[in-house]
Structure 1
Amino acid sequence: MTAWAGLNPAATRADAQAALWDQGAKGEEATARLLRPLEALGWQIRHDRALPRSGANLDHVLVAPSGRLVVVLDTKAWYLGETRLVRGRVHCGPEDRHEQVVKVAGYARRVQEALAVPGVEVLPLLVVHGRPPADGHLDVRVPGFEEPVYVLDPNWLEPTLEASGRKAPADPKRAAALVRRVDQVLPRYVG
């Protein structure tokens, strides 16, 4: 009751954190809606997966129809200002958010290790709701990661995934085996 008046700083912080979680959950739901059409193209999609030996929640894990690509997709709801690169680092308005890009690259690396399936590439992506990159995407270099991490406007998500999925022909048997491995190694997140 006193949080709204600023008389209880702990309650004010808790209210702010709850609002951020709610905003994040709405962003994840919006991303899930954007991903649904990919299922008709043979993509297998898992939401809210647990990263082994970690408290991390993977927002979305996708398996391409080829069975040769896994995408670790992190959803962000950023509203402070334009998402852009400043001296090679990702910012949302005045805030440096680069560590969140580094984190999703690390998640992808750990998923690759956990899956331990030869010939499977794991691609990290970030989709930004609210104030995404003005040009639709940022190609962000992360130390220790060979390929750039793509930070995307939601409108760029489906075309980016479709292009990535077309790099190898569909192989339903291989894709089904990879989905079983994903389900085994990355269980539902219980937070």
Structure 2
Amino acid sequence: MRPNPTTHRPLQRHDHRHRPQDAGASAARRARQLRRDELRQNSVQHAVLLAGTALAAYMVSIPARLLPPLPSALTIAGAVLPVLWAIWHVHRPSDAVRRWRRGAAGERRTARLLHPLTRGKQGWIILHDRAIPRSRANLDHLLVRPDGAVFYCDSKALRPGARIHVRDGILHCGHRPYPSAINTVIWEAAQAADALGVPVTPLIAVHDAEVPGHVLHDSKVVIVAATRLTRELRRSRYIPNRAAAEQIAARAEALLPRHTAR
């Protein structure tokens, strides 16, 4: 009796090839959605603001006509600058849009930093922007080491120059706390572990802000400067097991699909 090809089909190697272009896709899409919504919702307010600014500029110019003539450049500037300010104010993205854009850019930067790990026959398998089952959340970067060990890396683009520290289990960037940051990353890693049936080690890769000593080994999660991420991941010794790594990656492809694909 011939084996059923649907049940004995071998794993297709590189079905899960590293796709850096996936990184940050869902965050960028969320930024676009928010931007479209705010432009649509504020269109009437924008028109009123522009009309009011133009009227104010005209009213201001009336007294100037009774005074000695001003240089033409000053007259033009007095009329044009208020209108330009109104246009800038109208088209300036909200704080929420800028945060999502900054997050997407941080994920893309992390993907570029991780790319060297994927090279060679014993390269790591890296999946970006994966959906978490029954949740709107996503996994920024899921990494499968050549021996089958799995890591989850969350990207954080924080305030440039600010110092990172952890106090009472809460991540701080300078004086600003991020109360849910660490617990969220731990929860996301746990969801990946439940889906894959293997332990998943959580990490946070920090862009722009300063991580003392480049790495903070908190009791629950490793916080690392993004520029030192690959060095930290390569520290541990292991014996490659390509079959195990391929199996776990194939399982991740099936159970944790691309966030933009669902």
Give TM-score, length-normalised by structure 1: 0.83
| Residues 171-182 of structure 1 mapped to structure 2, 5 A cutoff | 171-182=241-252
Distance in 1 between residues matched to 2:166 and 2:256, nearest whole Å: 32
Could you say which residue in structure 1 is the equivalent of 2:159? 79
SS state at 1:91 partner: strand
Residues 57, 88 of structure 1: alpha-carbon distance in 2 compared, 3 angstrom cutoff: closer
| Residues 13-162 of structure 1 mapped to structure 2, 5 A cutoff | 15-40=94-119, 41-67=122-148, 69-79=149-159, 81-116=162-197, 120-141=198-219, 148-162=220-234
Q: Is the 8 A contact 1:78 1:132 kept in 2?
A: no
Residues 74, 23 of structure 1: alpha-carbon distance in 2 compared, 3 angstrom cutoff: same
Q: Is the 8 A contact 2:144 2:248 kept in 1?
A: yes
Q: Deviations over 1:116-151 (max 9, x none)?
A: 2xxx3210000010103122121223xxxxxx3001
Count matched residues.
Answer: 177
SS state at 1:135 partner: helix
Q: Deviations over 1:153-188 (max 9, x none)?
A: 012210111124x3x311111111111001111000
SS state at 1:126 partner: strand
> What is the aligned counterpart of 2:254 among 165, 184, 190?
184
* Alignment-mate amino acid for residue 187 of structure 1: P
Q: Is the 8 A contact 1:65 1:175 kept in 2?
A: yes
Question: 1:86 Cα deviation (Å)?
Answer: 2.9
SS state at 1:132 partner: coil
Give TM-score, length-normalised by structure 2: 0.62
SS state at 1:73 partner: strand
* Alignment-mate amino acid for residue 213 of structure 2: D
Question: 1:87 Cα deviation (Å)?
Answer: 4.2
Please state if 1:163 is matched with 2:258: no
Q: Deviations over 1:62-110 (max 9, x none)?
A: 111001x111110000106211123443201111124111111111111
More helix by share: 2
Could you say which residue in structure 2 is the equivalent of 1:145? none
Distance in 2 between residues matched to 1:134 and 1:18, nearest whole Å: 30
Q: Which 4+ runs in 1 deviate beyond 2 A?
A: 85-89
Larger Rg computed on CA atoms: 2
Q: Deviations over 1:26-59 (max 9, x none)?
A: 1111100100000015100011100111111111
More strand by share: 1
Distance in 2 between residues matched to 1:63 and 1:82, nearest whole Å: 30
